[in-house]
Chains A and B, each alone.
Chain A
Amino acid sequence: AQSVTQLDSQVPVFEEAPVELRCNYSSSVSVYLFWYVQYPNQGLQLLLKYLSGSTLVKGINGFEAEFNKSQTSFHLRKPSVHISDTAEYFCAVSDRGTGFQKLVFGTGTRLLVSP
């Protein structure tokens, strides 16, 4: 079964500093990859997705992620964070064979941006 690992449960960072949130997935089969952001007591909002094509994916709010098939990773990056980026970030994957609808989520990384 597919699994997603987000090694960092919490990442503290100062405002305007760069940040990388790590995500690794287990399956060697072809996958779709997603990053979502969740603000307190709210649903999830899609930051970016990789379906096919270029391995560097750009998303909203200045985030980007790079799909690395050999390392089965999809790390999320932002060159300069803002206070408003403080939130929970979830990496998710779905197998191409079962379609993009059945998502498996990582345990999440809490990004804490301080002044």
Chain B
Amino acid sequence: GAVVSQHPSRVICKSGTSVKIECRSLDFQATTMFWYRQFPKQSLMLMATSNEGSKATYEQGVEKDKFLINHASLTLSTLTVTSAHPEDSSFYICSAFPQTEAFFGQGTRLTVV
């Protein structure tokens, strides 16, 4: 199957700093990628849709200035958590659809201390 690679898998950062998470489609081109957030023992909540060459579409309640999304190429989308705070600690997962099936990255565990 298709491969979506997410990096880093785990990151710890200090409060107030920014963290960038990368999501790559390794064997297909993805004009659209999706970013999810998962709180402990909860479901995945869609944060935003990343569109290659244009602005991301954010879900209601998601701060676009805090969660910056860039989709500069057909194989790479990045999520930058700006001025991170402990409440931003979570598991972030990206996905992409080569055809009719979503493939997910392995996720990034962000811990803000």
Chain A interfacial positions (CB closer than 8 Å to B):
32, 34, 36, 41-46, 49, 51, 90, 100-108
Contacts and interface: CB of A to CB of B under 8 A. Distances in A.
26 contacts: A32-B100, A36-B104, A41-B10, A41-B107, A41-B109, A42-B106, A42-B107, A43-B4, A43-B6, A43-B104, A43-B105, A44-B93, A44-B95, A46-B103, A90-B44, A100-B97, A100-B100, A101-B32, A101-B102, A102-B49, A103-B34, A105-B43, A105-B44, A105-B45, A106-B43, A107-B42
A101 B105 contact: no
B101 interface: yes
A102 B95 CA distance: 10
B102 A90 contact: no
Q: Is the interface of B mostly helix, strand, loop or mixed?
A: strand
Interface residues of B, number: 26
Closest 9 CB pairs of A and B: A43-B104, A44-B104, A105-B43, A43-B106, A107-B43, A105-B44, A43-B107, A101-B97, A43-B105
Contacts of B49: 102
B42 A43 contact: no
Interface in B84-113: 91, 93, 95, 97, 100-107, 109
